[in-house]
Amino acid sequence: MNRHPVIWSLMIVGVVFFFIIGGLTIFLFLSGSHSKGLLDFGEIEVIKIEGPIFDSLHTIKELHRLQKSNSIKAVVLRIDSPGGAVAPSQEIYEEVKKLKAVKKVVVSMGTMAASGGYYIACAADKILAQPGTITGSIGVIMESFGFQNWLEKSQLENRVLKSGMLKDVGSPFRSMTPEEQAYLQSVIDNMYGQFTEAVSQSRNISPEKIKILSDGRVFTGEQAYETGLVDGLGTIYDAINEAKKLAGLAADAGVIWPHEEKGVLDFLFPTSSVKSKIENFLGNFKGFQLLYMISY
């Protein structure tokens, strides 16, 4: 039994309409000037590292992808971060070093690239900052709360069973002993040594000079340039042009910009500084941590 001609016509129109709308949507998505897609053509890619660094997985996956890319010849890392946890900062630093072995890597510093953010930047071929960028803050910090006085006033008792003397070191429910302070300071000193050694080797700065620069102080981009912590001053477009020169690319070589992804905090708090402070606050509840991070 043949279908009614009207039904056939509606079905054909529906299929054609579906393909037109679908094709148009894909075209607009892939041709967006700030998106990455299958039709992107470029030899330089910009990767963003933003906000407090408490997880490195997304960034190292991006860096590993770029290591394997045959089309990308240079990478610009846009860093706008106060730093973060030690291990994620180190993991990203190591992946940037691996990327630098096969591509040219230039860092463009935004508002802030301090502590762990600066640690990561050191792995690049060149670092550019703005004169007013906040950077440096080379050091390690550990912060904790103490509720022991509140417990005493509330007549509450904290009972702990532990397998070793230092198992609950840093507990907020009691005062820290001198032995515990000395132990934690030794851990901090070890991580601090890892940081200063990475900066000294990557930036070709003598250990003696690094010791002077790494007392936790921050520098403006202008001061960092004068001390050798960065290579120059300039915008992200200056960093892109520098990457082109290092990679021997033409001045009009294509650039692939990162796709702008929005999360819940972006919609609730469109101001980046507010979002950063909230992420920082939430990050502090991930447990007892040692941080390559500026304190603010």
Active site residues: 115, 167
Element (H, E) at 149: helix 148-153
CB atoms within 10 A of CB 89: 27
The residues facing 75 across adjacent strands are 45, 105
Which among 96, 91, 88, 86 is positioned nearest to 122, based on CA atoms? 96
C-alpha distances in Å from residue 60, one per residue of 92, 120, 141:
6, 12, 24
DSSP 142-184: ------HHHHHHTT-------SSTTTTTT-TTSPPPHHHHHHH
**CB proximity list for 296: less than 8 A, separation 6 or greater:** 82
Q: Specify the length of the chain in residues.
A: 296
Beta bridge partner(s), residue 59:
none
Q: Which two tokens stand for residue 57?
A: 């997985």
Beta strands at 44-50 and 255-256: parallel, antiparallel or unpaired: parallel
